[in-house]
């Protein structure tokens, strides 16, 4: 009997985790500090933020209180759209918040535009590389022996 593969996190769990992380970072709290306040381990907070573990109702209430927000905000019911969910998911990417703060601190509009262009070009190159790799993989699979 083979072990079951873990199911990917549900989109709502990812969105809640992203909001928890964004708000925690906004308040300048570490994962350990938040964990201590809500009564879980910092590893558990990591899992909540990644969406790997679901946040129970009671923990969600404790977390909202610790983060000085509402449960409604954490679950995305206070005027947020799917687009804002995408923003929070993007901000949950390691380093995203730091790069956003650094970007916002660049005084020159020209330098900010150059950095944005660089990031967009890196994204396009990575997507093209991935597509080329997938194409060659597909060709290998269907080629006659």
**pLDDT, one tens digit for every residue, the chain (145 residues):** 565 677 888 888 888 998 999 899 889 999 999 999 999 999 999 999 988 999 999 999 999 999 999 999 999 887 655 556 677 777 777 888 888 889 989 999 999 999 999 999 999 999 888 888 766 544 444 444 4
Q: Under a CB-based contact definition with an 8 Å cutoff, are residues 118 and 99 in contact?
A: no
Q: What gap in Å lies between CA 79 and CA 93, rounded to an integer?
A: 23
Q: What is the pLDDT of residue 69?
A: 93
Q: How many CA atoms lie within 13 A of 97 on its CB side?
A: 15
Q: What gap in Å lies between CA 86 and CA 92, rounded to an integer?
A: 10
Q: What gap in Å lies between CA 45 and CA 38, rounded to an integer?
A: 9
The structure's pTM equals 0.64
**Angle (CA) 100 104 108, round 5°:** 135
């Amino acid at each position: 009997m083979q072990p079951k593969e873990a199911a990917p996190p549900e989109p709502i769990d990812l969105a809640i985790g992203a909001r928890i992380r964004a708000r925690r970072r906004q308040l300048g709290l570490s994962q350990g500090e938040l964990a201590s306040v809500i009564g879980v381990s910092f590893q558990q907070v990591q899992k909540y933020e990644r969406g790997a573990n679901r946040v129970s109702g009671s923990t969600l209430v404790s977390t909202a209180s610790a983060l000085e927000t509402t449960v409604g905000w954490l679950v995305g019911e206070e005027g947020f759209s799917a687009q804002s969910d995408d923003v929070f998911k993007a901000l949950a990417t390691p380093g995203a918040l730091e790069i956003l703060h650094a970007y916002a601190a660049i005084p020159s509009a020209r330098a900010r535009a150059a950095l944005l262009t660089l990031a967009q070009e890196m994204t396009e190159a990575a997507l093209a590389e991935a597509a080329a790799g997938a194409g060659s993989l597909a060709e290998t699979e269907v080629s006659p022996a």
